[in-house]
Amino acid sequence: MAQAWRCAGLSWTAGGPVLIWDGGRRSALTWGKTVAFGVAEGGARTCVGARGNTCPLAARVSARSTGPRCEECARLDRAHSVAADTLADDPRPYRVYLAWFGAGMTKVGITAERRGSARLLEQGAVCFSWLGTGPLMAARRTEELLRAALRVPDRIPYAAKRAARAALPATGEERAAEIAVLHARALELTGWPESLAPAPFRPVDHVEAFGLSEAPAPVGVVGELAAGGAVSGELVAAAGPDLHLATDRGVLVLDTRLLPGWELVPAGGRRVEVPVRALKERPAAQDGLF
């Protein structure tokens, strides 16, 4: 019987996307590399636990969920978390950013300074610019200021981000135009925390890092994994948690958040033997940011 592996998720490094496996093994992903795996026969997707602890119930998790934890483990994992706004005493500096995902889709967020731009790559931000740096609570107040004064959201549904990538403007200048306007308006606001140092507008474009400029447009999305199924294809692009794979069914998007919790085994070829759904169309762009 082939050795089974458990995936811990996708990470972004300076060299590109990397798959992380339980036990610490890492698989660097480069354009043209074959990504191929099968799902162990007779298995089920089980909770991955939280904070280094296994799930005491070995609870089953929905194959369609992008979250690999049961309700109790998910609650534990988000405890004392910046993302869940349950951590307020981190003394390290944080950055506020503006991220753009497509026409009319800009969000504000914060990330630890030590992480650099990793958070933006993980979210699939097509373009971004830093807005300022300071203590955690000052960064949070700035985020709230932009939400209240400029109606900039701090969350965008991931399906909308994915759909927007299919119709991006051709140039970096066009892709940065919306956050340029928003950045200028944000700096004009009153009420900025004194401890947050504003940053100049310096857009960073991820189209080349994601491989989107040369890759064919995807035709579908892997909807879920299933015991006995397989996914195999050539990597042509990646953005956020998504891998774009050239398969026998065309270019398909594999959301790597579907992998944790399954036992995976080696596979070959370019076959896809799991449920696939059509890629959602890009929703109509809103008339403006404000």
- pLDDT of 2 reads 65
H and E: helices and strands count for the chain = 6, 15
Q: What is the pLDDT of residues 39-79, one digit of tens each?
A: 999 989 999 999 889 999 999 999 999 999 999 999 998 87
- pLDDT of 270 reads 75
Average pLDDT rounded to a whole number, residues 162-179: 94
Cβ contacts of 208 within 8 Å, gap of 6 or more: none
Residue 228 has pLDDT above 50, yes or no: yes
CB 94 within 8 A of CB 137: no
Which residue type, as a one-letter code, is found at position 97?
A: Y
Cβ contacts of 285 within 8 Å, gap of 6 or more: 102, 103, 104
Alpha helix stretches (DSSP H) within 131-197: 136-150, 158-164, 172-187
- pLDDT of 89 reads 66
Residue 30: CB atoms within 10 A of its CB come to: 11
- pLDDT of 236 reads 97
Average pLDDT rounded to a whole number, residues 208-226: 94
CB 70 within 8 A of CB 47: yes
